[in-house]
Every structure is written in C-alpha cells, then in structure tokens.
Amino acid sequence: MTSQQPLPTDDFSIYYVLADCTDHCDTFPVKEADENQPHFQGVTGLRNLGNTCYMNAILQCLCSISPLRDYFLSGKYITALQKNCSEVATAFAYVMTDMWLGDSDCVSPEIFRSALGNLYPAFTKKTQQDAQEFLIYVLNELHESLKKYRQRRSHEKTSIPRCCRKVTANESSIITRLFEGQLSYSILCLKCENRTYKNEVFTILSLPIPSEYECSLQDCLQCFFQQDTLTWNNQIHCSFCETKQETAVRASISKAPKIMIFHLKRFDIWGVMKRKLRTDIHYPLTNLDLTPYICPIFRKHPKYNLCAVVNHFGDLDGGHYTAFCKNSVSQAW
C-alpha cells in the first residue's frame, strides 16, 4: 500500500508508532486551516528563531507522539529528573505544555534551544543544522535527564539462541522504553564458515535508497536487511582463522521498539561528488509490517502506523525543513 495523501515525497525521516500505542488506525485527509475553527490541542506553531526550522520540525514530531506527550503532560517526568542534568528535560516539558495545554496558536522554543545550546553551542548559532543530528542529541539528553538504574539479571535463559539474545542495559528511561530497539548481526567467515553474532542497540535506522527514480519504503528496508559481503579493506577478523577474512553479514531485528524512526539516506557520494537523491519513495500510512526482518524467535508481527514525517527541501548547500504530524485529538495531518 502506498501513501495517497498529498505529503511531500522528499521525506527526510519517517516515524512509525505501533498500532497499540495509537487511538486507531484510520487515516484522514489534510484539512486547510480555518480561522473560524476552534484551537485544537497540539495544533500549535513554533516560532523560527533564525534558521531553526530543523529544530521546530523535530519538536513538532516529538510532541505529536502520544505516549511521550502523556508522560510529560502528566508530570511523571518530575520524579525521574536527575538533579545534575534536568535543564533540557524541564525545558522540553515547557514546550510540550505550551503546545498542548496553552491557548496560543504559536509559541517560542527559545528556552529549550538555550538549554540544549548550553551543552551544544552549535545549536545557538543562527545557522542551519542537520535535523537528524539534532534529534540524536535531543533523545540522548532527554535520556540522560530521566534515566534510572536497574539491576542486571544474574542469569540468562540458555534456550535463547545467541543471535537473538538481547543486550541488557543498566539504564532505563522513557526514551529507551519507547525508541530503543536492537539489531543482531550474523557474521559468517567465507573461508572457515565460522559464524559469530554481534548485537547493536539503535534508536534510528538509516536506510539506503536503492533507486534513483522511484521505490517504496519496503524496498529500502529490504536493501538494508539483505546479506552483504565484506571484501578487501572491509574484511573482518575471524577468531577461528586468526586473521581478516571475507565475510557475509546479515542484520535482523532482535528487539522491535515501540516507536520506530527511519532516516532515509538521501545524500550520496557519486564518484568524487556528493549529491542528493530525489527518489520518490512510497510508504504506507498504516500497518507497516516489519515481521520479515525480525529474529524468528521474537516475531510478534509488529505493525506500525505513520505518525509524523520530517521533510528536507534543498540540496547540500542549504534548504528548509518542514514537518507533517498526525494530531491525536483532531485526527488530522
């Protein structure tokens, strides 16, 4: 199923949420703004503070995610705040509150930018920044502000294959509970056929675009999860051969996050030149099925619904970010 909504096809990042985390799976057409309509909760603009479209687009998406919104608006975050690094999370809660509980059509994210800028000064400059990079920093700082420590289990069930064993972190937060997933890499030495496994935690999946003209999100996923052969300078050290060998590597998902974030790799190297791929990518609005890419022992048939898209218009020299978000109250994009 492909998107039939008039959303820009130049999508930079796509966010999906599990069906059981949303109110329902129906899709709704885009509606033009009407000055006579009442102000819907969450339908609030963010002031541009000088080339801050990258920040506003990411904040709009994060503030549209229902479980994250409920966590901050309920005040649950207060009891989890770390005393030595609470500024970013508190400022984020202020933005969330202004957007969802205020009566203004537009609010300023200046306090949040200032809090994050104290840690990363590049975001205080009035220059365009990368939206994906900004998102990574925001999620990391929210995790650091809200993390709690938990005890590791002293034993692990031996019935679970090594390829599917989950990395047990000793820190947990609303960010890890919602956004954190895990990849399992199967690594096969092509000389001795010794197989090893490597697990890796992720919050964003950066997907290649396999066509220059038109493809689907499933095409991007299949390209990411297909087997890859590493040769020449990319060879991996084999513990059995005790030297670097050509290897076959295949990834699978051993833990599917509740909220999946996709980053589409539109910037590519062509010879000695960098370019932007302007491929039209079709993606479903509901029921994105990741079952084919899940480690078999953990297959729970996860299906995701689209809740927000960040778009980048422009090229390597500059551009503009916009966001489309599904509002959980009005059910409109």
Annotated catalytic residues are 53, 320
DSSP-assigned letter for residue 123: G
In contact, 312 and 319? CB cutoff 8 Å: yes
d(CA 174, CA 72): 10
217: nearest Cα among 225, 226, 207, 227: 207
* CB hemisphere CA count around 145 (13 angstroms): 24
Reading the block at residue 281, the tokens are 């990518």
Beta-carbon count within 10 A of 40 CB: 13
- Sign of the four-CA dihedral 115, 116, 121, 123: negative
Contacts with 73 (C-beta within 8 Å, 6 or more apart), sequence order: 96, 97, 100, 101
Reading the block at residue 17, the tokens are 């949420």
Q: Which residue has the tokens 């084999």?
A: 238
Q: Which residue has the tokens 């649950």?
A: 76
- What are the beta bridge partners of residue 275? 268
In contact, 59 and 46? CB cutoff 8 Å: yes
